[in-house]
């Protein structure tokens, strides 16, 4: 009678622990009367089974009752059926873990005093210790899953079923261990078959998880690429705006220059007008250089060359392209801009004598050839090997080139890094 009462108190405490756990990670439903009634019925059935049934049947009954209790408590909260199934198996495995730890601790501490683990005192100690370990487990799990959105968000059903394989195998192994510890007869062949099948299933599930993680990682990489491309386009738009503002300023300055020249000529001060005109032309020469008839690409090159000049990097250019391009001008500007950024950064890190960049952009019939090579630190061939092939900037360039049917190739020669691009059939 006392043992049955103790086990029933333990089940009631377990119900409160489950409710405490799920309340921390999911939102509770408003109508739960029927579920509470089912839980009370389970508790009553547990008490009667402990009173009238033989001890050898109780472990199996306790497993089913634990599953029913977990499912009933979970039903009080907004969880999908697949999530409830996963938590039934996971929390059952946690229950077995707590009982196994409890049994081993009791064996270590009071083995010399108690001859059999099925004695009244050992059951008292084991049940109390198991309950204490479960309390610690549930507090830790609730602390780890502190946000209610963690379980409220729907998880892929196949992923949940895949993850459920591990609690299933854990439960089978721990159940067999517990049965052997309490000296109960158990068919080892059945347990071995279940364990073997479970290990096979678990390895299949690991393959599925590997596939899912690989797909997810590829998705993250694609998002990163798109983000980088979007940032480049935003930067491109900002530079266009800046270019337009500069043009407005130039128009305003030219108007003022014309007014000054008009005033000098009206006063027939030819000498002063000539001096003012020479001075103005000299100032305009320092404002911008013209590398190509494409205004966007020309502006990008001027901006990057200004940055290079500020970093004391010498830049040599050889550019010859026409205006009749079939692809968007911003694609060429983004590619050249990213290549120039990489070259400038590499030269900035190079503390040696060579800090120079060579830019070659040429048209061959209907194709466009772009090559940028720069000085770089030779040891970066090893220290930055991954970034040379997997960096976000490189990925952005590769993506744009491939989308437009081009070829991207990079290599090193001595202390120089080369990046070469060919865009096919881009000119009319």
Tokens of 220: 């993250």
Quote the pTM value: 0.46
* C-alpha closest to that of 264 among 249, 251, 255, 277: 277
Strands 314-320 and 356-364: parallel
Instruction: Note the residue count of the chain.
Output: 428
Backbone angles phi, psi at 407, to 5 degrees: -125, 135
Question: So what's the pLDDT on residue 191?
Answer: 65
- Distance, CA of 287 to CA of 250 (rounded, Å): 10
* Cβ proximity of 11 and 43 under 8 Å: yes
* C-alpha closest to that of 296 among 251, 340, 336: 336
First CA to last CA distance, the chain: 95
Question: So what's the pLDDT on residue 152?
Answer: 46
Question: So what's the pLDDT on residue 34?
Answer: 87
Backbone angles phi, psi at 187, to 5 degrees: -75, 105
Question: So what's the pLDDT on residue 422?
Answer: 93
Give the 3-state secondary structure of residue 317.
strand
Backbone angles phi, psi at 411, to 5 degrees: -160, 170
- Distance, CA of 301 to CA of 312 (rounded, Å): 16
Q: What domains, with CATH codes, occur in the chain? A: 2-186 (no CATH), 289-428 (3.30.565.10)
Question: So what's the pLDDT on residue 185?
Answer: 56
Question: So what's the pLDDT on residue 418?
Answer: 93
- Distance, CA of 150 to CA of 87 (rounded, Å): 13
Tokens of 315: 């830049």
Q: 99: how many CB neighbours lie within 10 A of its CB?
A: 23
Q: Tens of pLDDT along the chain (428 residues)?
A: 666 777 788 888 888 888 888 887 677 777 778 888 998 998 888 888 877 877 677 778 888 888 899 898 888 887 888 888 888 888 888 888 888 888 778 777 665 454 544 555 666 777 788 888 888 888 888 887 765 544 445 566 777 767 777 787 777 777 776 766 655 556 667 667 766 776 777 777 777 777 777 787 777 877 876 776 677 667 666 766 676 677 777 777 777 777 777 887 888 778 887 887 777 766 655 445 666 777 777 778 888 888 898 888 999 988 887 777 777 777 888 888 889 988 998 888 887 667 899 999 988 888 899 999 998 887 776 665 544 544 446 777 888 888 888 999 998 888 889 999 999 888 76
């Amino acid at each position: 009678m006392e043992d049955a009462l103790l086990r029933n108190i333990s089940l009631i405490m377990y119900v409160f622990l489950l409710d405490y756990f799920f309340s921390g990670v999911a939102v509770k439903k408003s109508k739960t009367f029927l579920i509470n009634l089912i839980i009370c019925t389970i508790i009553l059935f547990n008490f009667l089974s402990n009173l009238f049934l033989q001890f050898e049947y109780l472990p199996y009954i306790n497993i089913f009752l634990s599953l029913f209790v977990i499912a009933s408590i979970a039903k009080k909260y907004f969880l999908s059926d697949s999530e409830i199934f996963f938590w039934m198996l996971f929390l059952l495995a946690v229950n077995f873990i707590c009982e196994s730890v409890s049994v081993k601790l009791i064996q270590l501490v009071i083995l010399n005093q108690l001859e059999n683990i099925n004695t009244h005192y050992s059951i008292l100690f084991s049940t109390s210790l198991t309950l204490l370990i479960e309390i610690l487990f549930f507090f830790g799990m609730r602390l780890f899953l502190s946000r209610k959105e963690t379980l409220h968000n729907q998880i892929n059903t196949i992923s949940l079923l895949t993850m459920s394989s591990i609690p299933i195998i854990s439960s089978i192994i721990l159940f067999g261990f517990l049965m052997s510890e309490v000296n109960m007869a158990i068919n080892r062949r059945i347990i071995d078959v279940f364990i073997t099948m479970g290990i096979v299933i678990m390895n299949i599930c690991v393959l599925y998880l590997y596939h899912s993680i690989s797909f997810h990682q590829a998705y993250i990489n694609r998002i990163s690429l798109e983000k980088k491309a979007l940032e480049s386009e935003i930067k491109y738009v900002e530079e266009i705006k800046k270019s337009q503002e500069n043009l407005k300023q130039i128009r305003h300055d030219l108007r003022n220059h014309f007014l000054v020249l008009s005033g000098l000529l009206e006063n027939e001060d030819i000498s002063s007008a000539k001096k003012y005109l020479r001075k103005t032309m000299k100032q305009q020469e320092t404002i911008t250089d013209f590398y190509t008839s494409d205004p966007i690409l020309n502006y990008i090159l001027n901006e990057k060359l200004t940055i290079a000049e500020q970093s004391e990097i010498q830049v040599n250019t050889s550019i010859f392209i026409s205006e009749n391009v079939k692809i968007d001008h911003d694609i060429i500007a983004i590619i050249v801009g990213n290549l120039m950024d990489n070259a400038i950064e590499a030269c900035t890190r190079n503390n040696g004598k060579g800090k120079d960049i060579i830019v070659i952009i040429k048209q061959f019939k209907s194709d466009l050839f772009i090559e940028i090579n720069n000085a770089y630190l030779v040891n970066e061939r090893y220290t930055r090997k991954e970034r040379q092939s997997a960096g976000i900037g490189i990925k952005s360039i590769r993506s744009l080139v491939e989308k437009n049917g081009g070829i991207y190739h990079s290599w090193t020669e001595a202390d120089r890094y080369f990046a070469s691009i060919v865009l096919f059939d881009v000119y009319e």
